[in-house]
Structure 1
């Protein structure tokens, strides 16, 4: 074992999970060339090829599959032993990895992530943004943050933040010139800022009437994939925009933007921090969970908190 390191084995498992050197390198926080060199050195020491590489794919060889099948459980045991030792730390330290999506990242950065770093300066946090829902355990993440309705049932979930809603907004000057829509169907007569999704499709604006969903295909002169740019365009009177309420609440309060169709945008499923049950979690893991629960309790005292039936479950670490 003197010529091998756990990081070598982690590299093999990461490439096996992702089927890509580039994706695995991003997961491991290293360059693709460094990862390729690590695997080349390991294969030389072992005397066997672990991966078949082409310009389009990376696939485990038969030897590689056997290697992963035997090494993965052993690494899990080692990780559990390390967790047991780290659980005895007096000062929380180490790196936490969180998987989330763009809107949630903006909503939880200050109250949870930055607050954790302020309280516990020896903790490091890696936040990875992905639009698609992944298996956080297989992806090597400590936590995930998603809407409650998307969280696997076998995960422990803690609700984060106040009630979430979409907000349709426009600049006062735009409304003075073009009028105000009273129902979603009126949007057909207005210029709207369209949102491009990661898969290339256009976002349909979602509303609700008497408990029934209403989806509207809007039209307009500008299509963007960044809410911050869309907000600038709406403030510049280019058209009406559709945002998460948290992205434009300060503009609404200051009168820079006017909220429209509020009765048509009901509460959404709340954001939750979620994670698998763990024995002997590291101190950094424990304090982050407690901070999330503290945030949940604080939001529970707010008048705009989510109703009880919407709040995610909490549970002790096990």
Structure 2
């Protein structure tokens, strides 16, 4: 293939992916006019329109969609292979892009990520904190950190975090006004604070005792979509809240919140690092994994000591 045509295809792929000449030019570090002329030249060479343009939008034509469908996995594979060549270097340089949710970032990922970059400044690091679903292949992340239940089947996953536990908590002032729940079904008689996930659904309240699992669908009087707001609403006596124990720990320690249904709240497996099964882990990824596990061990020791 003519080297110029390959370059033109890569630029078309970026434009079609971004749905914008401006965004594609910015990501490639070139001018918008250069990108526009390249796509125009490619369309001339192929003698077919690849993009449908208007004053407000840009989208691939049927031919453009077909070409994009062919190019995307090929370009992704080339990018992955170039990243994998990093293993052949003695120093773990290159790029490491990580995605995770807010809780994982605060408790596990950021400590490990910052230690890695401090020890290896030659690594170009990027951390994206998103509570919603992220397609790490399409978004070109090297690794994600999520709960095991959230992972796709074609992902390789390895456990990196300590066990977690979800708890139901309320403020002493709220609990003084009512009977404390003894079993999950008692929650129906309580004001509850719901948590709306990034996908728009309300997070279920799941319990287990003596091998019996139970999920309660509460009707919340208050709904939030942030962990800190969830803790704050419980502390403000708005009702009972269901959350990861880590979020409530400082409030439980000094009595500002009280746990209920503790015998229905066992531990469950913690966070996993995951990556595409189509690529080999880089040296930077391996070092990042080591630091994740180190942070997890430190948290486990601190929890057992405390």
* Partner SS state of residue 87, structure 1: helix
Q: CA deviation at 1:264?
A: 1.1
- Secondary structure in structure 1 of the residue aligned to 2:238: coil
Aligned-residue offset at 1:198: 3.1
Change (3 A) 1:273 1:72: closer
- 1:287 corresponding residue in structure 2: 287
SS of 1:12 mapped into structure 2: helix
How far apart are 1:253 and its partner, in Å?
1.8
SS in 2 for 1:139: coil
Alpha-carbon separation, structure 1, partners of 2:249 and 2:25? 35
* Equivalent residue, structure 2, for 1:307: none
- Is 2:259 aligned against 1:233? no
Structure 2: distance between partners of 1:29 and 1:272: 35
The 5-angstrom pairing of residues 157-196 of structure 1 reads 157-196=157-196
Match of 1:141 in 2: 141
CA distance in 2, matches of 1:43, 1:270: 47
Q: Hey, what's the Cα distance between the residues in 2 that align with 1:272 and 1:52?
A: 42
Cα separation, partners in 2 of 1:253 and 1:5, compared to 1, 3 Å = farther
Provide the alpha-carbon RMSD of the alignment. 3.9
Q: CA–CA distance in 1 between the matches of 2:169 and 2:31?
A: 46
Q: Does structure 1 retain, via aligned residues, the 8 Å contact 2:192–2:240?
A: yes
Aligned residues: 294
Please give the per-residue CA displacement for 1:131-174, whole angstroms capped at 9, x wherever unaligned.
2363x224311112222244345543221221111111111222
| TM-score, normalization by structure 1 | 0.74
* Whole-angstrom distance in 2 between the partners of 1:165 and 1:110: 20
Deviation at residue 83 of structure 1 after TM alignment: 3.7
Partners of 1:9 and 1:71 within 8 A in 2: no
Q: Which of 36, 42, 65 does residue 40 from structure 1 map onto?
A: 36
Q: Give the direction of change, closer, same or farther, for the CA distance of 1:38–1:236 in structure 2 (3 Å limit).
A: farther
Structure 1 stretch displaced more, 253-262 or 6-15: 6-15
**1:64 Cα offset (Å):** 5.7
> 1:106, 1:99 → 2: CA distance?
13
Aligned 8 A contact 1:96 1:142 in 2: yes
Per-residue CA deviation, residues 163-195 of structure 1 (Å, 9 max, x unaligned), is: 111111111222223342222222222221122
Could you tell me which residue of structure 2 aligns to residue 219 of structure 1?
219
